[in-house]
Structure 1
Amino acid sequence: MTLEHKKNIFVELGKFLSQFSENESIKKENVLYNDLFFNDFLDLIQLSQSHNGWYTPEQVFFAVNSWAEALTKDNLDQWLSSYNLENTGGKTVGLILAGNIPLVGFHDFLSVLITGHKVLIKTSSNDQHLLPFLAKYLTAIEPKLAEYITFVDGKLENFDAVIATGSNNTARYFEYYFKDKPSIIRKNRNSVAVLGGSESKEDFIGLGEDIFRYFGLGCRNVSKLFVPKDYKFDSFFEGIFEYQDVIHYEKYANNYDYNKAVFLMSNFKLLDNGFLTIKEDTSYSSPISSVFYEFYDDLETLKNRLEADNEQIQCIVSKGIVDNSIPFGKTQKPELWDYADNVDTIAFLSSI
């Protein structure tokens, strides 16, 4: 299969995904194999919460829409234009996927196939249905792909390289187990927002999206705020009030009640609006329903710290006051060329 052919296959997948929306899913005439797949995929989205309690239809639709927007001819061309992929392929790449948010491993899956390798996939127990369904759709478009895609239940065997995602603890196991293979091993990371004091209500509404999308379970979710000394949080709370309905979701509410109780029993000082607690803390990783914050005196000193801690940080959000930061509300809309942990997956797959 040529690179252009593979691009076209994923463009067709993007067209298929573009039909599905939380507001209304509309079956389109010009989408391949719709009669076979449209209703089943809609059913799967509605059933996802029974497979994983965090995968509400709203969150799955959001993930599906994000990939529909990403999988266009223009995006694929722009992403791959700087690589020479003529002589890549022929290897088998193992993927050990996370399951914290819907389709979190799709970018690795796409990258392996687009570079001409075979993919050997071990899904997370928390996300065992969405990616296999999309793989089935892809093989309907191009039956040859069936030879390139394998899902496994047990341990990975007979592979040439591996991309594994897990916690800091599992990463140590991965690093030992895969020490003789080319690998990308991903650990825990968190995202932060740097506030300067001039943010508008719209900025804070966007920041709320960065905090609450996927209930805060993704590495691109903001879990830590850096704020100027003596900062007042009134505008922040006013802006994120739009997300108050999150507390009506039982799993989130249970986490809110539990974590708030733990903080209070430990005599920590909290700010609380009834669906989010914020706590002064030097850690980057906050529990679900909570965001940590830290005061800073000097922006340049903070930038130096963030640079020193870059292995703990997935992305930085700000109103342009930090170089290469992401605008408010955009953390869960990465481009194809926005690599996890800033490790170029295509370059890695081209080198094996």
Structure 2
Amino acid sequence: MQLDQRINAFVNLGLFLKQFSNKTVQKKENIKCNDLFFDGFKHQLKLAEEHNGWFTPENLRFAIQSWAEALTPDNLETWLKPYQINTKNPKTIAIIMAGNIPLVGFHDFLAVLITGHDVLVKQSSNDKQLLPYLAKYLEYVEPSFKGKTQFTEAKLENFDAVIATGSNNTARYFEYYFKGKPAIIRKNRNSIAVLTGNETTDDLKNLSEDIFRYYGLGCRNVSKIYVPENYDFKTFFEAIYHWHPIIEQAKYANNYDYNKAVYLMSEFDMLENGFFMIKEDESYASPIATLFYEYYKDANTLKEKLETEKDQIQCIVSHNFTDNEIPFGHTQKPNLWDYADSVDSVEFLLAIS
């Protein structure tokens, strides 16, 4: 199978997914294999929602829309243009996926297949409904994909390299278990924002998308902000208030109530608005319904600090603060070439072919 065949298959998958990216799902004409797969995928989305309370229809649509927009000819060709992809000896690549947000492991799945390798997938129990169905769709659109994908719930065996995503604790296990194999092993990371106090209301509204999307469960969600001394949080709270319906989600509300009770009993200082709390804390990882903040005096000193701790940071949201910063509101809209942990997975996969 040639590279252009693989690209074309994923382009067709993007067109298929686009049907499910709006609140009103609409079956369209001229989508390959639509009669076979359309109703079935509607059912899989319903199953995903029922299985995982964090996978609301809105967040499922957002994830589907993100991949529908990513899987275009222009995006795929731009992403792959710098590489020489000519895999003559395909290897089997094991992928251990997280399950914190819908289809969170899809980029690794895409990278393995687009480079011509075979994939052995071990999914999280929290996100196991969607990807096998989409893999089957790919096989029907491009029959050469048949036999290229396996899913397993058993111990991983008979693979040549691994891409594993987990916590800091599971990463230690992965490093021991997969020693001797080429591997990308991802640990906990969090995303931050650096504010100057000169942000517009629109900037802060966009930042709220980075904070609240997927209930803050993704590594690309902003879990901490740095603010200048004497920062006035009033404008910040006003700008994010449109997210207040989030408290109607039971799992989120339970976390909000629990964390608020812990902070009150511990007599921690915090600010809250009925659905969200901010707390001064040096940590990067904040609980659900909570955002940590830390004051800074000098931007250059903060840059040095963040550079020394870059292994803990996934994204930096800011405006004219640092190189490779992400604009407000864009953390959950990565390009195909925005690699997790800044590790080029395509380069890794080509090196072992």
TM-score calculated relative to the size of structure 1: 0.99
Query: Residue type of the partner of 2:156?
Result: L
Partner letter of residue 85 of structure 2? L
The corresponding residue for 2:65 is 65
Name 1:343's counterpart in structure 2: 343
Separation in structure 2 between the aligned mates of residue 115 and residue 50 of structure 1, nearest angstrom: 34
Deviation at 1:29, TM superposition (A): 0.6
Contact 1:191 1:221 in 2 (8 A): yes
Q: Which residue of 2 aligns with 1:199?
A: 199
Relative distance call for 1:38 and 1:249 in structure 2 (3 A) is same
Counterparts of 2:88 and 2:272 in 1: how far apart (Å)? Answer: 53
Give the corresponding residue for 1:285. Answer: 285
1:157-186 deviation line (CA, Å, top 9, x unaligned): 000000000000000000000011000000
1:127 corresponding residue in structure 2: 127
For 1:329, the equivalent position in structure 2 comes to: 329
- The 1:89/1:126 distance shift into structure 2, 3 A limit, reads farther
| Partner of residue 239, structure 1 | 239
Instruction: Report Cα offsets for 1:50-103 as digits up to 9, x if no partner.
Output: 111100111011000000000000000000000011245510000000000000
Tell me what 1:164 maps to. 164
In structure 1, distance between residues paired with 2:40 and 2:343: 35
Residue in 2 that maps onto 1:256: 256
Q: Tell whether 2:217 aligns with 1:217.
A: yes
User: Could you tell me which amino acid in structure 2 is paired with residue 295 of structure 1?
Assistant: Y
- Partner of 2:103, secondary structure, is coil
1:348 match: secondary structure: helix
- 2:93 aligned with 1:90, yes or no? no
Distance change in 2, residues 1:88/1:245 (3 Å):
farther
Aligned to 2:313: 313
C-alpha contact (below 8 Å) 1:216/1:288 kept by paired residues? yes
CA contact 1:190–1:220 (8 Å) conserved in 2? yes
Q: Secondary structure at the match of 2:146?
A: helix
Paired position in structure 1 for 2:111 = 111
- Residue matched to 2:148: 148
What count of residue pairs does the alignment treat as equivalent?
352
Superposed structure 1 runs of 4+ greater than 3 Å apart: none
Q: How far did residue 47 of structure 1 move?
A: 2.9
User: Could you report, residue by residue, the CA deviation over 1:174-205 in whole angstroms, capped at 9, with x for unpaired residues?
Assistant: 00000110000000000000001111111111
Displacement of 1:133: 0.9
Residue 102 of structure 2 corresponds to: 102
Q: TM-score with structure 2 length normalisation?
A: 0.98
**Residue ranges of structure 1 left out of the alignment (5+ in a row):** none
- Conserved? CA contact 1:190–1:313, under 8 Å: yes
Local SS of the residue matching 1:224: strand
Q: Is the Cα–Cα contact under 8 Å of residues 22 and 57 in structure 1 kept in the other structure?
A: no
Cα deviation for residue 340 of structure 1 reads: 0.2
Q: Distance in 2 between matches of 1:66 and 1:144?
A: 26
Note if contact 1:276-1:290 (Cα within 8 Å) is conserved in structure 2. Answer: yes
What amino acid is the match of 2:336?
A: L
Residue 8 of structure 1 corresponds to 8
3-state SS in 1 of match to 2:188: coil
Structure 2 counterpart of 1:48, which letter? A
What percent of counterpart residues are identical?
62
- Give the match's secondary structure for 2:134: helix
Partner SS state of residue 147, structure 1? coil
Query: Which ranges in structure 2 are unaligned for 5 or more consecutive residues?
Result: none
The secondary structure found in structure 2 opposite 1:328 is: coil
Counterpart-to-counterpart distance in 1, 2:56 and 2:64 = 12
Find the residue that maps to 1:316 and give its secondary structure.
strand
What is the one-letter code of the residue matched to 1:291?
L
